[in-house]
Structure 1
Amino acid sequence: MDELKLLARSLPDAPPPRAEVVEKARARLAAARKEPVRPRQAGRAGWRGRTWGWTLGTAAATVAVVMAVVALVANLTTAPAPPPVLAPDAGAGALLRLADRVAGLPDDSDAYWRRPLLDNGLIRVRAGDRAFNVLYSDRIDLWQPRDPGDPVQAEQRKMFVRPATPADERVWRAAGSPTTLKRVCAPGADECMKVRLRSKPSDCLYTRAAEPGGVFGDRRLGELTVADLAALPDDAIRLREVLRTRWEGREDRMGQVSFEEFLPRAGYLLEMPVRPSVRAAALRLLAGLPTTKVIGPAVDPLGREGLAVTFNKGRGSFGEFGADDEVPEVYATILDPRTGTVLAHTTAAGRSIEGAAKGTMMYYQAWAPEAGWTGERPERPRACRLSDTPIP
């Protein structure tokens, strides 16, 4: 395995390292494995500055290789303080240690909580008799005020649609580089819309208005205000009881899910504007659930180091891709090792399918780096149309 090619796939936006960085990384890895250092071969293909696809690895050795090279590159460049070292942990210890770190963080007091989300996914398309994949990217920005009298602003725009990999781009060019493509759908699908390629952001919509009662837009745990979230207990046992009250008050509780099945939704709190101590309590609660599994250190689709977990262990899921309507999906949530917040949710193919190998990233939702509390207030976006319907 070429460690640097693997790293290139895991860090699609990272700049290429200098030659001396590469050699030091190889020397360090060789020493760790007790292997001789292999000199770089003349004429060998060089570093790829960017790739269009991502895969999920599961082997412990692969994780060690990626993290070793990432650590060395980070130490030799100007960058923020590195995150805590994350050792693979098959149990809940990693989550409990993360909770201890998060519990000591200071509370935020800024006026707005900002949630910029990037939604990316693969679509199977066809141009004439040629089929290939395209990658789409949408962005949704939410500005949630602490003061219920201030406006809530949501903005949505399509970022791009383009061939997913260099191989897909070659197929697209061979088909004549069309800008409008036909989507490949499963037999009997209700809608199989056309796909239009785009290289620049477009179709911007926004909403801006005060929310009656200050109810937080994310209603997955019911109708909560920012004040309700701020008042949540920072003790795992008491937080569990608050969640029980939320579960008992849900109209769809009967005949839907048991309280034990509802509890993994405590993970939603890691995406909401709660105090660090409440986030720590949620992590401790989740660490004790039988549905939680710590996968280990990981690199998210934006190249950030984190801790991969799943809060629904053993729960299978199937999706659609192209003409296949039963693709097994493998989910992972990647947490920030400094704050315990969610960096990304990822979905990978559980088996090889047409146009995508097993482990290929099929979809991800990532929080942009500017996510979190901010003293800045949102401005009405330019060249953006006011929407008369809510934005997710």
Structure 2
Amino acid sequence: MNPLDQLRAARPDHLDTPADEHTRAAELSYATSQARPTRTPAQTRKSGVLRPGWALGLAGVAAATAVAVTITAIGGTAPAPSSPAVAGDDQPVTRLSAKQVLLVAAESSLKARQGSGAYWYVESTSGNAQQVGTKVRYTVNSLGRGQTWIARSPKRESWWVSQNLGTKPAPDSEAAWKQDGSPTRWTVTVTKSADTKARLTVEAKGGEPFSNPINMGDKVADLAGENVSVAELQALPATPADLKAYLLKRYKGHGTESNAPQDADSWLFQVTAGLLSDMPVKPAVRAAAYQVLAGLDGVRSLGEVTDALDRKGQGVARAETWPTGEFERQLIVDPRTGILLTDRFVAVAPTGTYGWAKPGTVVNWNAIVKAEWTDRKPVKP
């Protein structure tokens, strides 16, 4: 069954009652009325290759658009699930289910052009929230920018460039920051294991960009915990059943970042989100990935939400258990384009590093600014 047929089957019964074309147009406009994002490729822990990333805690994610952005300090709390736009003055308000959002994104992905170019270029911004303060406690956000050039040919080098954009008080913490003396340097405590903690210093001042080659032979990215080449990514199965089977062959009962136990659906949600966020795959594979997500249990709709770059999209989420407590992983999608804008983690019942966070606090995010094939060569600092 293709995504459009699945979408029709997933429609709530009340939407199949007679309605005029204006109502149907309003429903479709709501379903497809948002924006776009990226995540840097990563190599497995086994390979020993550098894993790009700026978050101090949980990993981030998202996937593609060319938009001008201004980096601001974002954090705070995730908005409560919002109601979608009304279909008409006298029509009931309708929210798409998570499955419907994902199937619309799958259908849009199928219409995208494959693209050409020597490099798959991904640009992203990320943030990580921390609690600091001496006189009073408040939240600051450590921000970063990442750029990745994945060479289509194994004869070319693939590069990753990262830059620390500095640490800033969260918007709702500025008064507390001033009360604390307006410091520009903070010490934060990070839980490394059940009995090990580390103290890190973060500063308001950003740093110079630095870079590294990321390829090992023809291997340029991490998919499901294994290093893969561009050729392997381009050859991924393009049906949801086959793609799911391909990924599950690599499932070992734990996450790709640690040996902490992780159930298969949570693992699939994590791995598939990573594929959508920054992998150079064919449009049909992106569509299949959205269909895999649509078939998972426990995925809920958030309605319209705004990401760290102030872009609106449709949010879907799934609860996850980490060594640092209970979180919800939220994906913000532009259903019109099939673009994954942002991958973020929201506190539910956190412990350890994020034990300070109130439920609903966005503790970590990765937002895609651009993801495209290009002939522009890597810009190396």
- Fold shared by both chains (TM-score > 0.5): yes
SS of match in other structure, 2:133: strand
CA shift for structure 1 position 275: 0.7
2:114 to 107, 123, 127: 107
Aligned position for 1:238: 242
1:299 to 306, 309, 319: 306
Aligned position for 2:221: 217
CA shift for structure 1 position 59: 3.7
Alpha-carbon distance between aligned partners in 1 of 2:262 and 2:183, rounded to the nearest angstrom: 47
Aligned position for 1:147: 153
Alpha-carbon distance between aligned partners in 1 of 2:106 and 2:302, rounded to the nearest angstrom: 17
| CA contact 2:109–2:286 (8 Å) conserved in 1 | yes
Aligned position for 2:79: 57
* Superposition pairs of residues 280-299 of structure 1, within 5 angstroms: 280-299=287-306
Aligned position for 2:59: none
CA shift for structure 1 position 338: 3.5
Cα distance, 1:237–1:106 mapped onto 2, change above 3 Å = same
Aligned position for 2:366: 365
Larger Rg: 1
CA shift for structure 1 position 258: 7.0
SS of match in other structure, 1:218: strand
Deviation per CA, 1:70-120, whole angstroms, max 9, x where unpaired? xxxxxxxxxxxxxxxx96222522222221121121111111112223221
* Superposition pairs of residues 309-388 of structure 1, within 5 angstroms: 309-310=316-317, 313-317=318-322, 319=324, 328-350=326-348, 357-368=358-369, 370-381=370-381
SS of match in other structure, 1:372: strand
Alpha-carbon distance between aligned partners in 1 of 2:109 and 2:115, rounded to the nearest angstrom: 13
Aligned position for 1:73: none
Alpha-carbon distance between aligned partners in 1 of 2:276 and 2:233, rounded to the nearest angstrom: 12
Alpha-carbon distance between aligned partners in 1 of 2:266 and 2:310, rounded to the nearest angstrom: 32
| CA contact 2:118–2:153 (8 Å) conserved in 1 | yes
Cα distance, 1:175–1:338 mapped onto 2, change above 3 Å = same
Aligned position for 1:22: none
Alpha-carbon distance between aligned partners in 1 of 2:375 and 2:104, rounded to the nearest angstrom: 30
1:226 aligns with 2:230: yes
Cα distance, 1:99–1:203 mapped onto 2, change above 3 Å = same
Question: Which residue type is aligned with residue 337 of structure 2?
Answer: T
Identity percentage over the alignment?
25
Aligned position for 1:182: 187
Gaps of 5+ in 2: 1-71
Question: Which residue type is aligned with residue 302 of structure 1?
Answer: L
Structure with greater strand share of residues:
2
Aligned position for 1:202: 207
Alpha-carbon distance between aligned partners in 2 of 1:255 and 1:183, rounded to the nearest angstrom: 24
| CA contact 2:305–2:332 (8 Å) conserved in 1 | yes
Cα distance, 1:173–1:55 mapped onto 2, change above 3 Å = closer
Question: Which residue type is aligned with residue 146 of structure 2?
Answer: I
Cα distance, 1:268–1:171 mapped onto 2, change above 3 Å = closer
Alpha-carbon distance between aligned partners in 1 of 2:260 and 2:357, rounded to the nearest angstrom: 38
Question: Which residue type is aligned with residue 307 of structure 1?
Answer: Q
Alpha-carbon distance between aligned partners in 2 of 1:100 and 1:115, rounded to the nearest angstrom: 23
If the length of structure 2 is used for normalisation, what is the TM-score? 0.66
SS of match in other structure, 2:226: coil
Aligned position for 2:46: none
Deviation per CA, 1:37-61, whole angstroms, max 9, x where unpaired? xxxxxxxxxxxxx885443223444
Cα distance, 1:134–1:295 mapped onto 2, change above 3 Å = closer
* Superposition pairs of residues 31-180 of structure 1, within 5 angstroms: 53-61=75-83, 64=85, 88-127=95-134, 129-165=135-171, 168-180=173-185
Question: Which residue type is aligned with residue 220 of structure 2?
Answer: F
Question: Which residue type is aligned with residue 110 of structure 1?
Answer: G
SS of match in other structure, 1:376: coil
Alpha-carbon distance between aligned partners in 1 of 2:364 and 2:103, rounded to the nearest angstrom: 28
If the length of structure 1 is used for normalisation, what is the TM-score? 0.64
Alpha-carbon distance between aligned partners in 2 of 1:267 and 1:94, rounded to the nearest angstrom: 14
CA shift for structure 1 position 366: 1.2
| CA contact 1:148–1:211 (8 Å) conserved in 2 | no
Q: Which range moved further: 219-228 or 154-163?
A: 219-228
Indicate the RMSD between aligned Cα atoms, in angstroms.
Answer: 3.8
- The higher-RCO structure (CA 8 Å, 6+ apart) is 2
| CA contact 2:82–2:305 (8 Å) conserved in 1 | no
CA shift for structure 1 position 148: 0.9
| CA contact 2:118–2:151 (8 Å) conserved in 1 | yes
| CA contact 1:103–1:276 (8 Å) conserved in 2 | yes
Deviation per CA, 1:102-145, whole angstroms, max 9, x where unpaired? 11211111111122232212211123x33222211022221111
CA shift for structure 1 position 64: 4.3
CA shift for structure 1 position 180: 2.9
Cα distance, 1:150–1:247 mapped onto 2, change above 3 Å = same
